Structure 1
Amino acid sequence: MINPLAQVVWHSASARGPRSVNADAASGFGEPPVFAVADGIGDSPAAARAARIAVSAAVLTSAGPVDSLLAAQGAVSGDPSSGDCVLVVAVPYAGGYHIGWVGDVRAYAWDGASLRQLTHDHTLAQYFRDRGQDASPQMEHMVTTSVRTAGATRFGLTALRRPAGLLLTTDGVHKRLPPATMAELLRRPSNSARSLVDAALAAGGTDNATALLVECEPRLSEPATEAFAVAA
């Protein structure tokens, strides 16, 4: 999707893949927009509903990523028919984006040539790797935080100053495509979120796949604030 009314140009794409439902969701809202991508936990309508509710609530809150994540948490927890999800949100400020996340959705900085990962996966596998221990493949899919379960002190927080671009992805993309491959696709003239989603599924993806690409940085009038530290 392209939003022609926003001050920034952005594209999102999502595919169900071989799953029974698409439990991913992506959205952008405002001028300049707040962006969010969510991945429902499981392959069910309840997981899909949680992801949609989470991104809808997150992008309506422009005060900062903590407020956006708390809004998503309140919306999901208050809906008895929704399951759970993981979520990344990017809130613009004068110097770039404030970013918050739970789970294994990711944000990358895109400079037109290469990608730099900004987030740090909240998974059991990452927990063990951070401590110098081996992790089994099954641990890659076990998240240690989620929208329903994470307290505010467990939110991952960071900031990106004056990006050339921003990429948000679910694990159906970034666990199939290494950063070098994603960057190669984005360097092509037809670069788009759709190219990443299609490539992830062509590479044998077995999950939903979603990407949201922001092509230019936000420009606001308020002074820049200090960057957040990334939560472990």
Structure 2
Amino acid sequence: MDTVVPVGTWRTAGFRGPRRIDADAVAAAVDSAGCLVVALADGVGDTAGAARAARIAAQAAVSVPAADGPSAALIAARRAVLAEPAAGDCVLVVAQPFGLGCRIAWVGDVRAYAWDGRTLLRLTTDHTLAQYVRDRGGVPAPAMEHQVLTSVRTAAPAEYGLSSLSLPPRLLLTSDGVHKTLPHPVIAEIAGHAPDPAAALVAAAREAGARDNATALVVDLVVGNVQPPPTGPQPLMPAAA
């Protein structure tokens, strides 16, 4: 029997920037119920181990069925990273459809946004020293913006960031090379008007002088009747540019 679930197409783009290694990674999969799950990870540091951690974490996160919840996806990512001797550490955001809405979980300073056709809503709060100081009325030093307080390796489930919302037409996941380079109004303008928002976000970050890996993943979600796949999670390729 067909099941009514959120599905959609996704696009991604990335830019290594002046870093030696691109330590960002994205992944997407359709679970056994036909739900599209997406993740974006950003390795901590400019090393091969950081890049490996990001790839492992993103793939592990999307292997968890949406029904298990996004916290379970972060737990799976942590186990996978800890099990790999060559992996460093990373931050991670995962988005799962649930009913007619979407659930988000994250650690670190990766972000998720929703575009409803008029407004860009930020769904995450950075787990950084700068945000910690700001929340307590202080003025952070610029370097604090890049000091994360949670990561895939270190965070306990109680420290995970969690949010949810009614199903948005468009979901954006970004690494800090995008959202710490571009102001919110620019991200909103691109999210709502660019033919390929992922590519446009990365191009704008590059033009603005991004000093870090810059990666965007954009999902256009719809609700429809989908026949669940016969087996477990199915990896997806992004929509053609």
Relative to the length of structure 1, the TM-score reads 0.89
Match of 2:48 among 29, 45, 48: 45
Deviations 1:132-157 (A, max 9, x none): 11100000000000000000000001
The yes-or-no answer on 1:154 pairing with 2:183 is: no
Aligned to 2:169: 164
AA in 2 matched with 1:204: G
Aligned-CA RMSD value? 1.6
Structure with more contact order per residue of length (Cα contacts < 8 Å, sep ≥ 6): 2
Q: Which residue of 2 aligns with 1:58?
A: 61
Deviation at 1:186, TM superposition (A): 2.6
Size of the aligned set, in residue pairs, is 216
Residue by residue over 1:195-219, the C-alpha shift from the partner in whole angstroms, topping out at 9 and shown as x without a partner, is 1011101100010001111112455
Equivalence for 1:9: 9
Question: Which residue in the other structure is 1:142 paired with?
Answer: 147
1:36 counterpart = 2:39: yes
Distance 1:189 1:80, change over 3 A: closer
Equivalent position of 1:196 in the other structure: 201
- In the TM superposition, what is the alpha-carbon distance from 1:112 to its structure 2 partner? 2.3
Give matches, 1:1-232, under 5 Å: 7-30=7-30, 31-62=34-65, 63-218=68-223
Per-residue CA distance 1:175-227 (angstroms, 9 max, x = gap): 01112101212333523201101110110001000111111245589xxxxxx
SS of equivalent residue, structure 2 residue 172: strand
TM-score normalised to structure 2 length: 0.86
What letter corresponds to residue 58 of structure 1 in structure 2? A
Please give the secondary structure, in 1, of the residue aligned with 2:64.
Answer: coil
Distance 1:178 1:219 in 2: 34
Q: Stretches of 4+ moved more than 3 A in 1?
A: 217-221
User: Where does structure 1 lack aligned partners over 5 or more consecutive residues?
Assistant: 1-5, 222-232
What stretches of structure 2 of length at least 5 have no aligned partner?
1-5, 227-241
Letter in 1 for 2:55: R
For 2:159 and 2:223, the matched residues in 1 are separated by 27
Q: Is the 8 A contact 1:34 1:91 kept in 2?
A: yes
SS in 1 for 2:80: helix
The 2-side partners of 1:59 and 1:28 are apart by 6
SS in 1 for 2:173: strand
- Matched to 2:53, the amino acid is A
What is the percentage of aligned positions where both structures have the same residue?
53
Conservation of the 8 A alpha-carbon contact between 1:88 and 1:106: yes
* Residue-by-residue CA offset, 1:20-42 (whole Å, 9 max, x unaligned): 11000011101321110000000
- Change in 2 beyond 3 A, CA 1:78/1:112: same
Bigger share in strand: 2
Once the two structures are overlaid, the 10-residue window that deviates more, 210-219 or 163-172, is 210-219
